[in-house]
């Protein structure tokens, strides 16, 4: 089974949703740069507050900061594998991740690229809700959360993310095209890259991902 996995794709492509489904099904630890940075923000650290302001404006936090936080997380939680939701976001981050894994005598097993249309992105972002406490992600149209905005896993409040504003989304998409899309070429050079149609419902997408994780060989 593959246990060192990165999920890549545009905002709204379903990375967070699929990461949650993978960790519940396969018990592989999952995190995202957003989760780590929100923790720093909630702790009130200078780094967390600085990064929060950048994110609210639709920008990307520097590679140096992100990679350091990811390496710290791996030291604590990544011994038996990981699912990274939205990391790496740039080629330099991907190169640093390879270096970190190489030092551990490991390599990346699977880089999943969730392909979605801009229409799908806009529709999902317009309805997205996220738990402020545990980062569970859902939508207004799912399970009547519009009537009772409470997380089913930790009872935390389900809220609209500030960076899901339409204007901020356009900034995030521009950043994605400029800095993250080059990762396609980077991972195409290895056997780890797999493309998955993310426009479909979450269960169908997860079925494809589960098959890739369970796939034998490279």
Residues 171, 149: contact at Cβ < 8 Å? no
Selecting among 2, 96, 124, 128, the annotated active-site residue is 128
Residues 112, 119: contact at Cβ < 8 Å? no
Residues 19, 32: contact at Cβ < 8 Å? yes
Selecting among 4, 38, 96, 172, the annotated active-site residue is 172
State how far the Cα of 1 lies from the Cα of 106, in Å rounded to an integer.
14
Determine whether 104 is an active site residue. Answer: no
Determine whether 161 is an active site residue. Answer: yes
Selecting among 160, 161, 179, 195, the annotated active-site residue is 161
Residues 203, 24: contact at Cβ < 8 Å? no
State how far the Cα of 91 lies from the Cα of 93, in Å rounded to an integer.
5
Selecting among 15, 38, 96, 124, the annotated active-site residue is 15
Question: 3-state class of 218 per DSSP?
Answer: coil
Selecting among 2, 4, 38, 89, the annotated active-site residue is 89
Determine whether 89 is an active site residue. Answer: yes
- Per DSSP, helices labelled H in the chain are 15-26, 33-43, 46-56, 63-77, 91-103, 118-127, 166-175, 183-188, 202-214
Catalytic residues, which ones?
Answer: 15, 89, 128, 161, 172
């Amino acid at each position: 089974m593959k246990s060192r996995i990165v999920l890549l794709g545009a905002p709204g492509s379903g990375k967070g949703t699929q990461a949650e489904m993978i960790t519940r099904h396969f018990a592989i630890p999952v995190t995202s740069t957003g989760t780590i940075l929100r923790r720093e923000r909630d702790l009130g650290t200078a780094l967390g507050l600085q990064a929060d302001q950048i994110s609210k404006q639709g920008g990307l936090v520097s590679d140096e900061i992100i990679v350091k936080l990811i390496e710290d997380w791996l030291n604590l939680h990544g011994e038996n594998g990981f699912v990274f939701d939205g990391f790496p976001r740039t080629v330099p981050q991907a190169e640093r991740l390879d270096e970190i894994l190489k030092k551990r005598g490991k390599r990346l097993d699977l880089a999943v690229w969730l392909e979605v249309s801009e229409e799908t992105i806009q529709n999902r972002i317009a309805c997205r809700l996220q738990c402020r406490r545990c980062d569970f992600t859902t939508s207004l149209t799912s399970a009547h959360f519009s009537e009772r905005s409470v997380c089913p896993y930790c009872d935390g409040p389900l809220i609209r993310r500030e960076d899901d504003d339409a204007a901020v989304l356009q900034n995030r998409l521009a950043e994605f095209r400029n800095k993250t899309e080059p990762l396609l070429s980077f991972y195409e050079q290895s056997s780890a890259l797999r493309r998955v149609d993310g426009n479909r419902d979450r269960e169908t997408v997860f079925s494809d991902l589960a098959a890739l994780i369970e796939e034998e060989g490279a």
